[in-house]
Amino acid sequence: MDPFQTLGVPQRYDLDLGALEKTHRELSRALHPDRHMGAETGKREALSRAVEVNLAWRILRDPVKRAEALFSLHGVPVGETNEPKSSPAFLMEVLEEREALDDAKQARDLARVHAMARAIEERAQAVQDSLAEAFSAANGDRDRLASHIGKLGELRYFKRFLEEVSAIEDTLAEEI
């Protein structure tokens, strides 16, 4: 399945997510069973189309999944077992940041957790910007794209870090 085609947008990384959300909503509206006459078969077909549309929307709105989809569509295999391992330097840095986050959590220091999250968000944005540039510059060339696959691993790490932050926020909020 090509999620870009399902939602009728060009295959590029920097999508206008606000516009895409509206398209998703318009499609949900178009596929609503109330819009379709007849009995069960029409409704079932509408619903299975709605499943495809939602799947596409979930992929395209997620920076990691969107990158994975674009790499796959251009023949670059993705998935943690298919991609080259991240550099030891990056892994080391990752480990240290995780420890710092854990310290902040133990200290119930929500302000520090937030500051770390903001820093990671900025770095994630920078990686996304460079991915957008890479996808656009490669112009569909498989080998040129393959050289950027390492960015995917970084993006995944940042995503997990931010998920951890949101879990910490929930836990600390409950304690209050």
Q: Which residues bind another protein (CB under 8 A)?
A: 7-8, 19, 22-23, 25-42, 45-51, 54-55, 58, 167, 170
C-alpha–C-alpha distance, residues 108 and 119, integer Å? 19
Nearer to another protein, 26 or 143 (CB): 26
Distances (CA, A) of 92 to 41, 54, 95, 149: 55, 37, 5, 19
Taking the complex as a whole, the smallest distance from the CB of residue 152 to another protein amounts, in Å, to 20
Please, which residue, 44 or 142, has the CB nearer to another protein? 44
Kindly tell me which of 40 and 175 has the beta carbon lying closer to another protein. 40
Rounded CA gap, 1 and 3, in Å? 6
Cα 22 from Cα 34, distance rounded (Å): 20
Q: In the block, which residue shows the tokens 């840095």?
A: 93
First to last CA, the chain: 46
Count of H-run helices and E-run strands, the chain: 8, 0
Closest distance to another protein from the beta carbon of 172 (Å): 15
Q: Provide the minimum distance between the beta carbon of 81 and another protein in the complex, in angstroms, as a whole number.
A: 11
**87 vs 171 by CB, closer to another protein:** 171
User: Shortest distance, CB of residue 41 to another protein, whole angstroms?
Assistant: 5
